[in-house]
Structure 1
Amino acid sequence: MSWLRALKETARSGFTVERTRLEPLVALRGALGLALVVETALALFGPVIAASSAFGAFQAAIATFQRSWRPRPVLALVSGVSLSISTFIGYLAAPYQVVFLTVLVLWTFVAGLCWAAGPTGGIIASSNVAIMLVTITLPTSVRDAAAHAGMIIVGGVVQAALIVLFPVRRWGAQRDALADAFAAEADYARRLRHDPIAPFDPQALMAARDAAAVSPREARHRPAELHGARSVAERLRPVLASLADPAMGVPEEGPQRARARELLGAAASVLDAAARAVRHGDPVRLSGTELAAMEAPETGGLTTGPPRRAADRLIALLHDIVEIAEGAGTRHGTEETDPATPHRRRPGLIKLVPVVIGRMRAEFHRGSAILRHAIRVTAVATVGYFIGEALPLGHGYWAPMAAVMVMRPDFSQTYARSVARFGGTIVGVGLATGVVEVAHPGAELSAALAVCCAWLMYLLMRTGYAVGQVCISAYVVFLLGMAGTDWSQTVPERIVLTLVGGVLAMVSYAVFPAWETPRLRNRLAGWLTAVGRYAATVIDQYAAPANRSNDDVRAALLASREARVEWTETLKKAQFEPVRHRGISRSAATDAQHALAQLGRAAMLLEAHLPDRAATPVRGAAELADALRGSTEKGAKAVRERRVPEWGPVAESVAYWDFLEAPYDEEPAPGEPVPDPVVRRGAALLLDALVELSFALDDRGAVPSSRRAGSVEDSDEEEPEAR
């Protein structure tokens, strides 16, 4: 992609306005906390300290809107305390330029590394740098600085207290995550009725798993409908796929297919009803038709073999989901209800500190995008500070502040937010200026207008970054007007310096980039290795049913999902980068993604029919598992080295059952190994997916012979050539 097209696409992304569910009561609560703090400070200490306290209450409320599973009061307190510390230390260092620059560099570098802990930590840390640049201009003495810092903490405490005293949708985020998982599986079941091999994105299930991690105190107060439901939903997905897939025994047409479609339709309706019940805390409402469809599966010919097992398991799991959604628990042991592991533990803030430090230390290597971001944002903040001081404008801190707030570790977000911030600033400042020209508000009215802008920001912030910037820009104009700053001076300063900060952010990424494009092959190789281990672990269960371990299968499945998410995120970030692909084209990446998704799906189908511990071991399964494990690891190395992977050992192991020539229902010859029909068919799907991957990565359209594979040492990633 050329630079011109990349700029066009990122600008369009920055100005995109999304339709999303609004939360007016939550926004009103945040605005109320801001109003209480500002009005109290205005009455007791005057407009200057009131402006400082407003920053604390405003940012503390913004922290509670971030995508995090931690309690919202904790996020507000952490934001308020950290902002207070940054303000006080910044003021102490401000009289000494060398000392202040040293503190600014250190604060900004650490804030950049905080992105290793996740977006919420990165956003809160970036806000600390911004407030250090802003509030040091307000106090006039150490005592005043302490008062400003104290009022900022008060702002965070007030926001946290309001969340505790006036809760809106307790466990709302966790309810939404679980409901989204149910809704995603309902959509999956509905699509399987018409497309038996429809794809499924596990992102909703992964989000529900993250939301299920709680502290011991939270576990004691968690609603009953959030206990065990995720585990049942996890087991439901492979059963749905197995029932729909023709390879597992249900013909593509006929009475059995009609019954399978009926069950899939009932599953979709039950899952939708469960999603609504969990999201709103209401009872599950099912029609008589849906209840009748959940009866025994004998009707329609689903009487024997894998289809009957899948239908039985599906009906049992659907009944479990209905019981859980109504708060009645589950009949089967789950991760959440097992006494040995009552819940997934989420570490507290104290225990989280060494974890975050460990993640930050792990980023100190040459290829780290987070380290590059930390270096880049530090350099931009420093250069922006000098430019702001050199320009004949007041409020020079706006340039570095704008740059720090828009910069992200990846290209597309940095450029999209830079353009959106400048456009939103022009609109917001223009609207606020018009209001000031007409109304000429005093301190009280300016404070009220600022609170109204903050409420709009909280309400609309998830619709798009540009919309949020319109509200923030107007908020700042009214807030500075409350503190006595002439709006006619702040308007041109803010526009010009915001433009300077955005340009600095964009230029810094072009000069010192961290492109995602060269990581595509590594991410693809990692996904191949992970999904290969998942498939091998599942087949191992058929080789030794007496040693079955659901924990091993579960761990391998989660690892494959994590690898898939890493690939998907890297591919998404790379699609707008103005660099050459250097090794894997967009079409090859799409085809390879489809192939690995089919490989994971084949393993999932096998997981849906895992044998009991008393079952007879499947001959040849152990050899197939070893071949899969070894071949996918070698294939991953070939992917990294830009070679076409080969699957000779897997093909030989599958050919051992001679399923390529003989039909599945043919009687085996005397002495011939008798594989389980599910494993036999699943093995065919696994091999087909691996061959499809090789075709996707072969730019000549044919898979080379095994003689073409050589032993080449791993090569370092090459930095792509910018267009």
Structure 2
Amino acid sequence: MSWRRALKDTARSGIAVEKKRLEPLIAVRGAAGLAIVIALSLWLFGPAAAASSAFGAFQAAIATFQRSWRPRPELAIASGTSLAVSTFLGYLTISKEPLFLALLVVWAFAAGMSWAAGPTIGLIASSNVAIMLVTVTLPTSVAQAAGHAAMMIVGGLVQAALIVLFPVRRWGAHRDALADALAAEADYARRLRHDPVASFDPQPLMEARNAAAVTPRQARRRPAELHGARGIAERIRPVLASLADPAMGVPAEGPARDRVRELLASAAALLDAAAHAIRHGEPVSTPPAALATFRTPDTGSILTGAPYRAMTRLNTLLQDVVETAGGAPQESALQGGAPKGRGELRDQPQPTRTRPRTAPHHPPRRRPTFLALIPKALKAMRSELHRGSPITRHATRVSAVAATGYILGTWLPLGHGYWAPLTSVMVMRPDFSQTYSRAVARLAGTVIGVAVATGVVQAATPGTLQSGTLAVASAALMYLLMRTGQFATQACIAAYVVFLLGMGGEEWTQTVPERVLLTLMGGFLAMLAYAVYPAWETPRLRTRLADWLAAQGPYAAAVFGSYADPSASNAPDVRGALLTARTARAAWHAAVARATAEPVRHRGLSRTAADDAEDALAQLGRVAMLLEAHLPERGATPVPPAARFADALRESTHKGAKAIRERRVPTWDAVREALDAWETEDTDKVLRNTATLVLDTLTELSEALDTAVPPMTLDGTAPEKPDGPRNPKDSATR
């Protein structure tokens, strides 16, 4: 992508306004906390202290809006306290400019490194540095600085108290995460009716897993319907895929396929009902037609083998998820289950039933307390502290730009020189697209916000109380529109600061003209810093792809290993490998999204090659998932060739990942040899055919990368072109 197009796209995304669900009650609560702090500070200490403390309450409320599963009161207190510490330390050094500049560099670098611990911590730390540049100018003595810092802490405490006393949709984010996961699986079931090998994005399941980790305090108060349903949803997904995929035994057309379509439609309806109940905290209203589909007597005579086992497991899992979501009064509707089939299927063991509402099968996932999070955050920052890390590059850019902006702002005869470094710190992010889009949004929003606020001040000449009221109104509007985009947010923030400084005694003529110019300079410095010292994602795409292969291979190997030794407890190994593969997949997709917006050429991995390689690895994960739906019970007959195949797959994918990083085409001779040896033995044909699909997907990966490397490999030899079918989907439907 050219620089011209990249700048155009980022500018467009920066000023875009998205349609999002507004949360007016939460906005009113945040504005109420801000109003309480301003009124209390005005009454006790005067306008200057009120302006300083208002920043603490304002930032504390913003922190509670961030995408985090941690209790909101903790975020508010942490934000107010950290801002108080930053302000007090800044005031102690502000009288000696070299010392303050050194503190600013250290604080900005630490804020940049804090993004390694997560976006919420990174945003709070960056905001603290930016707001500190303003608040250190308000006190006039050390005692006043301590008082202002104390009031900032009070601001965080007030916001936390309001969250506790006036909860708005308590556990709402956790309910939405779990409901979104179930709704995504319902949509997946519907798509499988028309496309038996449809893809599934596991991101909703990952979000639900993140939401399921709770602190000890949350674990004692979590609603019953949030227990257990996520684990059941995880088990439903592979069963749905196994029921629909032709490779598992159901023909592409015919009575069996028609019955599978009916079962998938009914499963989607039941999952949607459970999602709606969890989202709104209501009893499940199960559709009678969906229930009747699973009670149809002739299902056992139409489906046999693996499809029948998938149907019975799906029936049991759906009953569990309905009960967990709050459908106990209707449990008899599904409890009858599907009828028994013919022959050996009459004695098939049924899956173990769970009752998550009364006795969870697994203890809740624990989230560390805020104090316990500090060592983990420091460890994450330390692990990123090396030359090639994008986080370290971001921290270096932030500290350099903050110092440069402060020096230029102080040197220029504009006054209020802190606006330049404030803008730079607020807009800079570890990736290109967010930095540039936020810079454009801040500039445009600042012009609009300052113009509107200036017009109001000129027309009405408000006093202290009126300015405070206008500041609270601007903050309330910002809280309301925060999720709609950066443009509206920055406009409201600009108006808020103008009114708040006006309440502190500064005339609008002292802030508006220079703020626009210095904001422009700060945004330009931020954009220039990324262009001069970038951290492009495009050159690292090969590494991300190799990481995904290195994680996807062990997952598939763990599944085959479960068939090789059913007596061992392999389920935890499969689960752990699956979570690692999902994390690598998410990292790949995030990297591709960032690389797409970057104005740099690819280096050895074109967009077409990346798309084809992504499809191949996604197919590898789907094939492994089909087998995961039918993991053998303990006591089942071992399949020794599966062990050899699993070992070859694990070793070959490890070597293949290394080859990708070194710009070579991976080869799969060991996997092919293990499969050839397997075909000479009389074992489970479904398992063996699935192994063939695995080799097909690996071959497709090599063919995709064969177009993305130089004609000669690093060792000077021509890469060997593997044989095999191009598309594993073709093999799945033969």
Q: TM-score range with shorter-chain normalisation?
A: over 0.9
5 Å-filtered alignment, 1:602-621, equals: 602-621=623-642
Cα RMSD of the aligned pairs, angstroms, is 2.1
Q: Does residue 685 of structure 2 align to residue 677 of structure 1?
A: yes
Contact 2:320–2:355 (Cα < 8 Å) also in 1: no
Q: Does residue 529 of structure 2 align to residue 516 of structure 1?
A: no
User: Which amino acid letter does the alignment assign opposite residue 38 of structure 1?
Assistant: I
CA distance in 1, matches of 2:297, 2:712: 47
Q: Does residue 106 of structure 2 align to residue 122 of structure 1?
A: no
5 Å-filtered alignment, 1:384-403, equals: 384-403=405-424
Contact 2:270–2:287 (Cα < 8 Å) also in 1: no
Contact 2:38–2:53 (Cα < 8 Å) also in 1: yes
CA distance in 2, matches of 1:447, 1:674: 82
- State the Cα distance separating 1:440 from its structure 2 match: 2.1
Contact 1:425–1:470 (Cα < 8 Å) also in 2: yes
CA distance in 1, matches of 2:525, 2:613: 37
CA distance in 1, matches of 2:289, 2:359: 34
Aligned counterpart, 1:631: 652
Q: Does residue 107 of structure 2 align to residue 100 of structure 1?
A: no
Aligned counterpart, 2:727: none
Aligned counterpart, 1:718: none
5 Å-filtered alignment, 1:684-723, equals: 684-699=692-707, 708-709=718-719
Aligned counterpart, 2:273: 273
Q: Number of paired residues?
A: 697
- State the Cα distance separating 1:703 from its structure 2 match: 12
- State the Cα distance separating 1:296 from its structure 2 match: 5.6
Q: Report the 3-state secondary structure (helix = DSSP H, G, I; strand = E; otherwise coil) of the residue aligned with 1:546.
A: coil
Aligned counterpart, 1:229: 229
Aligned counterpart, 2:480: 459
CA separation of 1:334/1:508 partners in 2, compared to 1, >3 Å: closer, same or farther? farther
CA distance in 2, matches of 1:89, 1:56: 15
- State the Cα distance separating 1:280 from its structure 2 match: 1.0
- State the Cα distance separating 1:683 from its structure 2 match: 1.1
CA distance in 1, matches of 2:562, 2:29: 53
CA distance in 2, matches of 1:700, 1:298: 52
5 Å-filtered alignment, 1:492-641, equals: 492-641=513-662
- State the Cα distance separating 1:436 from its structure 2 match: 2.0
Match of 1:436 among 457, 474, 487: 457
Match of 1:376 among 373, 397, 415: 397
Q: Report the 3-state secondary structure (helix = DSSP H, G, I; strand = E; otherwise coil) of the residue aligned with 2:578.
A: helix
Q: Report the 3-state secondary structure (helix = DSSP H, G, I; strand = E; otherwise coil) of the residue aligned with 1:620.
A: helix
Contact 2:665–2:709 (Cα < 8 Å) also in 1: no
- State the Cα distance separating 1:687 from its structure 2 match: 1.4
Match of 1:645 among 658, 666, 670: 666
- State the Cα distance separating 1:340 from its structure 2 match: 8.6
CA distance in 1, matches of 2:196, 2:709: 27
CA separation of 1:71/1:53 partners in 2, compared to 1, >3 Å: closer, same or farther? same
Q: Report the 3-state secondary structure (helix = DSSP H, G, I; strand = E; otherwise coil) of the residue aligned with 1:187.
A: helix
CA distance in 2, matches of 1:234, 1:62: 33
- State the Cα distance separating 1:8 from its structure 2 match: 0.9
Runs (4+) off by over 6 Å: 334-340, 700-707
After superposition, give the CA deviation of every residue in 1:166-200 in whole Å (9 maximum; x if it has no partner).
01111111111111111111111111111111111
User: Which amino acid letter does the alignment assign opposite residue 465 of structure 2?
Assistant: E
- State the Cα distance separating 1:11 from its structure 2 match: 0.9
- State the Cα distance separating 1:96 from its structure 2 match: 1.0
After superposition, give the CA deviation of every residue in 1:362-399 in whole Å (9 maximum; x if it has no partner).
11212100011111100000000001101111211010
CA distance in 2, matches of 1:126, 1:704: 47
CA separation of 1:91/1:275 partners in 2, compared to 1, >3 Å: closer, same or farther? same
Structure 2, gaps ≥5 residues long: 332-351, 721-734
TM-score normalized with structure 1 length: 0.93
- State the Cα distance separating 1:657 from its structure 2 match: 4.1
CA separation of 1:609/1:644 partners in 2, compared to 1, >3 Å: closer, same or farther? same
Match of 1:366 among 383, 387, 392: 387
Q: Report the 3-state secondary structure (helix = DSSP H, G, I; strand = E; otherwise coil) of the residue aligned with 1:545.
A: coil
Aligned counterpart, 1:715: none
Contact 1:421–1:469 (Cα < 8 Å) also in 2: yes
Aligned counterpart, 1:110: 110
CA separation of 1:297/1:507 partners in 2, compared to 1, >3 Å: closer, same or farther? farther
CA distance in 1, matches of 2:407, 2:708: 54
Aligned counterpart, 2:248: 248
Contact 2:225–2:357 (Cα < 8 Å) also in 1: no
- State the Cα distance separating 1:704 from its structure 2 match: 11
CA distance in 1, matches of 2:549, 2:76: 41
Contact 1:394–1:493 (Cα < 8 Å) also in 2: yes
Aligned counterpart, 2:177: 177
Q: Report the 3-state secondary structure (helix = DSSP H, G, I; strand = E; otherwise coil) of the residue aligned with 1:193.
A: helix
CA distance in 1, matches of 2:624, 2:192: 17
Identity fraction in percent: 65
Q: Report the 3-state secondary structure (helix = DSSP H, G, I; strand = E; otherwise coil) of the residue aligned with 2:683.
A: coil
CA separation of 1:636/1:701 partners in 2, compared to 1, >3 Å: closer, same or farther? closer
CA distance in 1, matches of 2:669, 2:355: 39
CA distance in 1, matches of 2:397, 2:355: 46
Q: Report the 3-state secondary structure (helix = DSSP H, G, I; strand = E; otherwise coil) of the residue aligned with 1:515.
A: coil
- State the Cα distance separating 1:701 from its structure 2 match: 11
Match of 1:477 among 484, 498, 512: 498
CA distance in 2, matches of 1:248, 1:95: 75
Aligned counterpart, 1:313: 313
CA distance in 2, matches of 1:364, 1:336: 44
Contact 1:695–1:702 (Cα < 8 Å) also in 2: no
After superposition, give the CA deviation of every residue in 1:581-634 in whole Å (9 maximum; x if it has no partner).
111001111111111000000000010011111110124111110111111111
- State the Cα distance separating 1:680 from its structure 2 match: 1.9
5 Å-filtered alignment, 1:214-225, equals: 214-225=214-225
CA separation of 1:413/1:59 partners in 2, compared to 1, >3 Å: closer, same or farther? same
User: Which amino acid letter does the alignment assign opposite residue 196 of structure 2?
Assistant: P
5 Å-filtered alignment, 1:644-663, equals: 644-658=665-679
CA separation of 1:125/1:701 partners in 2, compared to 1, >3 Å: closer, same or farther? closer
CA distance in 1, matches of 2:439, 2:59: 20
After superposition, give the CA deviation of every residue in 1:191-239 in whole Å (9 maximum; x if it has no partner).
1111111111111111111111112222121100010011000000000
Q: Report the 3-state secondary structure (helix = DSSP H, G, I; strand = E; otherwise coil) of the residue aligned with 2:414.
A: coil
CA separation of 1:224/1:700 partners in 2, compared to 1, >3 Å: closer, same or farther? closer
After superposition, give the CA deviation of every residue in 1:418-448 in whole Å (9 maximum; x if it has no partner).
1111011111111212222322222111111
CA separation of 1:45/1:571 partners in 2, compared to 1, >3 Å: closer, same or farther? same
CA separation of 1:559/1:139 partners in 2, compared to 1, >3 Å: closer, same or farther? same
After superposition, give the CA deviation of every residue in 1:70-98 in whole Å (9 maximum; x if it has no partner).
00000000001001111111111111112
Could you tell which deviates more after superposition, 390-399 or 326-335?
Answer: 326-335
- State the Cα distance separating 1:684 from its structure 2 match: 2.1
Q: Report the 3-state secondary structure (helix = DSSP H, G, I; strand = E; otherwise coil) of the residue aligned with 2:276.
A: helix
Aligned counterpart, 1:165: 165
Q: Report the 3-state secondary structure (helix = DSSP H, G, I; strand = E; otherwise coil) of the residue aligned with 1:605.
A: helix
Contact 1:255–1:301 (Cα < 8 Å) also in 2: no
Q: Report the 3-state secondary structure (helix = DSSP H, G, I; strand = E; otherwise coil) of the residue aligned with 2:567.
A: helix
CA distance in 2, matches of 1:580, 1:338: 55
Q: Report the 3-state secondary structure (helix = DSSP H, G, I; strand = E; otherwise coil) of the residue aligned with 2:511.
A: helix
Contact 2:269–2:287 (Cα < 8 Å) also in 1: no
Structure 1, gaps ≥5 residues long: 659-671, 711-723
- State the Cα distance separating 1:675 from its structure 2 match: 2.2
Q: Report the 3-state secondary structure (helix = DSSP H, G, I; strand = E; otherwise coil) of the residue aligned with 2:630.
A: coil
Aligned counterpart, 2:377: 356
